[in-house]
A and B are shown apart, each in its own frame.
Chain A
Amino acid sequence: MNRLSLFGLLGLVVRRDLLLAMRRRADVLTTLIFFVMVVSLFPLGVGPEPEMLRKMASGVVWVAALLASMLSLPRMFSADHADGTLEQMMLAPQSLSVLVLGKILAHWMLSGLPLALIAPVLGLQFDMSAQALWILVLALLLGTPVLSMIGAVGAALTLGLRGGGVLVSLLVLPLCIPVLIFGAGAVEAVNGGMSAVSNLALLGAFTLFALVFTPFVAAQALRISME
């Protein structure tokens, strides 16, 4: 039997997770609907003045995205853990880090990517300008992978614990705050007539930094949780 290449393995894991998600579409849709609902609650809560809504739009979208990604985190490993697939994956003579990276990518495609694509529609509810909408989508595309990557570490650490859902938020949210600050900051910079480049560049740096370290750390966390 020929060994899979690293990219072959990556593709295999991503394809498998996407296929599994497509068979149970409700899970993905719930997260998305949650996101839309949370964002729509804010104008009802704080009042419909367009001036204020325009100002807080990016922050609201980002906080909602953060919460929505927390909601889907416990699912990243738990199903595979429950039916023993995860154990088999760890026994495989392949890099566990790459395997985890595949699961992270799949998680992002199912949680971060849809949020980024639907965000402009929600932004219109908040009367955002076209330019701000573009920056919002760009910032979300750059920033949400970090949420999935840091989230993977939290999900792996809390695997199989009771109350894992709340605990994972407690562990992951503080580490995600920089992403929130610079993600929302990008849109604010554009609204203030400045360039968003510095914020976006920092978000990109976070993503690259997380891409290097988190798959390895999450793999170690899985080993700790499974031994």
Chain B
Amino acid sequence: MAINWFKYSAPSTFYGLAGKLIPFFAWPAVLLFAIGLYIGFFVAPTDAVQSEAYRIIFIHVPASILSMFIYLIMAGYAALGLIFNTRLSSMMAQALAPTGALFAFISLWTGALWGKPMWGAWWVWDARLTSELILLFLYLGFIALQASIEDPRRADKAAALLAIVGSVNVPIIYFSVKWWNTLHQGATIKMSGTSMHVAMQQAMFIVLVACWLYVIAVALARVRSIILERERNTQWVNELKEVQS
């Protein structure tokens, strides 16, 4: 039997699939958030140096990791759309952008809350904070460019080019604590092992997975809306139950 590998690359088929998939990502996300935050706030021990204030790490680190990761995924989808002219890839890139911007904002916000008790300042102009701020600006630029071009095909391509150009920033953020001697602490979890308590690791990892699942669920929900908006003049959309009612 021949399998059509590209069946779900068409918006009309993907729309239904995305709708079926969302609960499988959304519910585990809720569950893991609850478990991860419970371990983080009640099970994990108090930090020797930073006492209770360190607990914001369980939000801050997953949000920061995902803000960078989502940008790369978004740029990847955008590049796919630009190179192979696949409509769905561009829609996925568009669907991911607001979530990425949200995580970049959460990362900066929780970082500020953490910085006040640790460094004595809400904000310092060190390399990692600045480059994360630039990442937020890049997301906003992507969204603004996409929104201001009427023709969706041109909007996709123009935004894709911008996303690809902007992706040079991601390695700069990631390596900024290594390249520059900054106030922001370096990586605690390394390939060679970690100095972290097991419960702390578990909590951080579980919240990271929860955020990840949340991103997928939200991106799928948003891409469904984008598909409906762009394909509103097609027959299959008008035959949908939710559209007719």
* A interface residues (Cβ-Cβ under 8 A, vs B): 153, 157-158, 161-163, 167, 170-171, 173-175, 177, 181, 217, 220-221, 224-225, 227
* B interface residues (Cβ-Cβ under 8 A, vs A): 130, 134, 137-138, 140-141, 144-145, 148-149, 154, 157-158, 161-162, 165-166, 169
A220 to B, closest residue via Cβ = B161
Kindly state the separation between the CA atoms of A224 and B166 in the bound complex, as whole angstroms.
18
**Contact B148 A161, beta carbon cutoff 8 Å:** yes
* Residues from chain B with Cβ under 8 Å of A177 in the complex: 130, 134
**Contact A163 B161, beta carbon cutoff 8 Å:** no
Other A-B pairs beyond A157-B145, A171-B162, A174-B134, 4, CB < 8 Å: A175-B165, A175-B166, A220-B161, A224-B154
**Contact A224 B158, beta carbon cutoff 8 Å:** yes
* Residues from chain B with Cβ under 8 Å of A170 in the complex: 137, 140-141, 144
8 contacts between A and B (CB under 8 A): A153-B162, A158-B148, A162-B148, A163-B148, A170-B140, A171-B162, A174-B137, A174-B166
If A167-B144, A170-B141, A174-B138 touch, does A157 touch B158 (CB 8 Å cutoff)? yes
A177 to B, closest residue via Cβ = B134
* Residues from chain B with Cβ under 8 Å of A175 in the complex: 138, 165-166
Q: Using a Cβ cutoff of 8 Å, how many contacts connect chains A and B?
A: 49
* Residues from chain A with Cβ under 8 Å of B154 in the complex: 224-225, 227
* Residues from chain B with Cβ under 8 Å of A153 in the complex: 161-162, 165
* Residues from chain B with Cβ under 8 Å of A161 in the complex: 148-149
Kindly state the separation between the CA atoms of A30 and B203 in the bound complex, as whole angstroms.
58
B158 to A, closest residue via Cβ = A157
B160 to A, closest residue via Cβ = A224
Kindly state the separation between the CA atoms of A153 and B145 in the bound complex, as whole angstroms.
13
A174 to B, closest residue via Cβ = B137
Kindly state the separation between the CA atoms of A152 and B241 in the bound complex, as whole angstroms.
47
CB of B9, distance to nearest CB on chain A (Å) = 22
**Contact A167 B165, beta carbon cutoff 8 Å:** no
Kindly state the separation between the CA atoms of A153 and B154 in the bound complex, as whole angstroms.
15
Considering residues B134, B140, B141, B154, which has the most beta carbons from chain A within 10 angstroms of its beta carbon? B141
Considering residues A162, A174, A181, A221, which has the most beta carbons from chain B within 10 angstroms of its beta carbon? A174
The one of A157, A173, A174, A227 in contact with B161, judged by C-beta atoms closer than 8 angstroms, is: A157
CB of A63, distance to nearest CB on chain B (Å) = 14
* Residues from chain B with Cβ under 8 Å of A224 in the complex: 154, 157-158, 161
**Contact A221 B144, beta carbon cutoff 8 Å:** no
Top 10 closest A-B pairs, CB basis? A174-B137, A224-B157, A171-B141, A157-B158, A174-B134, A170-B141, A224-B158, A170-B144, A221-B161, A161-B148
B151 to A, closest residue via Cβ = A227
Kindly state the separation between the CA atoms of A224 and B158 in the bound complex, as whole angstroms.
7
The one of B134, B145, B165, B169 in contact with A217, judged by C-beta atoms closer than 8 angstroms, is: B165
CB of B88, distance to nearest CB on chain A (Å) = 19
Kindly state the separation between the CA atoms of A158 and B154 in the bound complex, as whole angstroms.
11
CB of A181, distance to nearest CB on chain B (Å) = 8
Considering residues A157, A167, A181, A217, which has the most beta carbons from chain B within 10 angstroms of its beta carbon? A157
* Residues from chain A with Cβ under 8 Å of B137 in the complex: 170, 173-174
Kindly state the separation between the CA atoms of A163 and B157 in the bound complex, as whole angstroms.
19
* Residues from chain B with Cβ under 8 Å of A227 in the complex: 154
**Contact A158 B165, beta carbon cutoff 8 Å:** no
Kindly state the separation between the CA atoms of A150 and B141 in the bound complex, as whole angstroms.
14
* Residues from chain A with Cβ under 8 Å of B138 in the complex: 174-175
Kindly state the separation between the CA atoms of A211 and B165 in the bound complex, as whole angstroms.
14
A162 to B, closest residue via Cβ = B148
Kindly state the separation between the CA atoms of A43 and B130 in the bound complex, as whole angstroms.
26
B154 to A, closest residue via Cβ = A224
